[in-house]
């Protein structure tokens, strides 16, 4: 029977337990995307706190793919040795560390004077009229940001896949134990999968196969860059709407997502990290825990790679019971580890009280991931 504190293997990586700090953007990097002492402090606490794998906050793979202020960068060779102090810090404290790779797209949070804007922020928004140079599947306005991206050309998409590969190579050179390609939460790669954002009429749209083409090319480029076995995780939405798992309102349904997961594995991913919706930590998330366990168990039956299920875990007894019954390899947690970076250490010591995190959302609204319960 698998237990929370058993080791977990993903390709060449062996983690000390089954607890994964899921990617959490702390918004503390410099404007160019570099590390700061505050970030090193947070990652040091997490590594000391006993987590098995730390997945970094999203790291942008091209300059124009920056998803928000304070995000970490991996977009050129200037980063080749930049993260060595971070990966050393994790390893010295017994944790593995994986770099999450992203291209933000129209979900990105832009300052009013961001040079990627092609029109003032308060101009009217219209589908088909791009108001930003950020790449998108189609020039469709994002309902939350009002950004209308520029439809990516085939050449843009080939270059983007190569950028993911190059970023993965840099991550490996920096001592990371793997990368996670971000195909979730409404950023560019997950937008490609969605009928709502992808109405392209070329080979990158139309059918599920077409809509999956870009994420698959990115994973193939990453795998080709890093070689066999090195851990390449993908974070994938179970579906795009909490109350519409069939995806009938135009997003991505669970059947489709399961098919995409199988293709991503065939393209070279050796772990799937299950998440969902436009923002898995949103206050709209369904009550109770853990909201993607059913889909994760399904993937674990269907696919021959470790499955991590992220979102909503708070109680170690619940985690133990899902690890024992669902065939999943591990669980991803974000907010509980913001609240208590040493939660795994506490649970291991025998204090198995659940995380007190209430999902209040303070950590998402302010830079530096403050916690209402921690100060």
Residues contributing to the site for ligand FMN (CB under 6 A): 22-25, 57-58, 100, 182, 184-185, 235, 275, 280-281, 310-312, 333-336, 363-364, 369
In this structure, the strands spanning 135-136 and 96-102 are unpaired
In this structure, the strands spanning 8-10 and 13-15 are antiparallel
Q: What is the DSSP string of 216-265?
A: HHHHHHHHHHH-SSS-EEEEEES-S-TT-TT-TTSS--HHHHHHHHHHHH
Between 216 and 281, CB nearer to ligand FMN = 281
Residue (of 171, 285, 301) closest to 237 by Cα position: 285
Between 25 and 264, CB nearer to ligand FMN = 25
Q: Residue 23 is encoded by which pair of tokens?
A: 């990617």
Asked whether 200 and 193 are in contact (CB, 8 A), the reply is no
| Shortest Å distance, C-beta 269 to ligand FMN | 15
| Shortest Å distance, C-beta 14 to ligand FMN | 22
Cα-Cα-Cα-Cα dihedral of 346, 350, 353, 354, to 10°? Answer: 60
Rg (CA), the chain: 19
Between 160 and 184, CB nearer to ligand FMN = 184
Which H/E stretch holds residue 233? strand 232-237
| Shortest Å distance, C-beta 312 to ligand FMN | 5
Between 24 and 132, CB nearer to ligand FMN = 24
DSSP lists the bridge partners of residue 96 as 53
Q: Residue 210 is encoded by which pair of tokens?
A: 């077409």
In which region does residue 175 sit, left (phi positive, over 0), alpha (psi from -120 to 50) or beta (all else)?
left
Q: Which residue is nearest to ligand FMN (CB)?
A: 281
| Shortest Å distance, C-beta 129 to ligand FMN | 29
| Shortest Å distance, C-beta 125 to ligand FMN | 25
Burial class (CB in 10 A: 0-12, 13-18, 19+), 161: buried
| Shortest Å distance, C-beta 235 to ligand FMN | 5
Between 186 and 253, CB nearer to ligand FMN = 186
| Shortest Å distance, C-beta 361 to ligand FMN | 8
Asked whether 100 and 56 are in contact (CB, 8 A), the reply is yes
Between 93 and 275, CB nearer to ligand FMN = 275
| Shortest Å distance, C-beta 29 to ligand FMN | 11
In which region does residue 18 sit, left (phi positive, over 0), alpha (psi from -120 to 50) or beta (all else)?
alpha
């Amino acid at each position: 029977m698998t237990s929370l504190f058993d080791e977990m293997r993903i390709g060449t990586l062996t983690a000390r337990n089954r607890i994964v700090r899921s990617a959490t953007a702390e918004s503390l990097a410099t404007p160019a995307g570099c590390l700061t002492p505050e970030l090193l402090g947070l990652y040091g606490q997490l590594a000391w706190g006993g987590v098995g794998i730390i997945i970094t906050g999203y790291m942008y793979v091209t300059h124009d793919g920056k998803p928000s202020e304070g995000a970490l960068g991996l977009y050129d060779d200037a980063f080749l040795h930049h993260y060595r102090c971070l990966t050393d810090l994790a390893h010295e404290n017994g944790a593995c560390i994986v770099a999450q790779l992203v291209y933000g797209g129209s979900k990105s949070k832009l300052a009013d004077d961001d040079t990627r804007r092609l029109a003032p922020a308060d101009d009217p928004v219209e589908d088909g009229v791009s108001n930003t140079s950020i790449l998108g599947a189609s020039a469709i306005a994002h309902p939350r940001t009002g950004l209308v991206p520029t439809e990516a050309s085939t050449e843009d998409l080939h270059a983007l896949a190569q950028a993911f590969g190059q970023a993965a190579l840099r991550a490996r050179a920096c001592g990371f134990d793997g990368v996670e390609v971000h195909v979730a939460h409404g950023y560019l790669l997950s937008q490609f999968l969605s009928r709502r954002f992808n109405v392209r009429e070329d080979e990158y749209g139309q059918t599920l196969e077409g809509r999956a083409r870009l994420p698959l090319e990115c994973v193939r480029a990453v795998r080709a860059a890093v070689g066999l076995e090195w851990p390449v995780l993908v974070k994938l939405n179970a579906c795009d709407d909490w109350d519409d798992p069939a995806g009938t309102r135009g997003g991505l349904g669970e059947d489709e997502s399961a098919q995409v997961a199988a293709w991503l594995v065939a393209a070279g991913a050796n772990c799937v990290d299950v998440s969902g919706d436009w923002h898995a930590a949103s206050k709209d998330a369904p009550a109770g825990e853990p909201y993607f366990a059913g889909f994760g168990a399904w993937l674990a039956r269907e696919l021959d790679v470790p499955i991590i299920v992220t979102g909503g875990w708070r109680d170690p007894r619940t985690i133990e019971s899902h690890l024992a019954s669902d065939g999943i390899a591990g669980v991803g947690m974000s907010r509980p580890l913001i609240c208590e970076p040493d939660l795994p250490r506490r649970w291991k010591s025998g204090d198995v009280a659940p995380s007190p995190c209430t999902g209040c959302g303070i950590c998402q609204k302010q830079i530096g991931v403050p916690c209402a319960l921690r100060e």
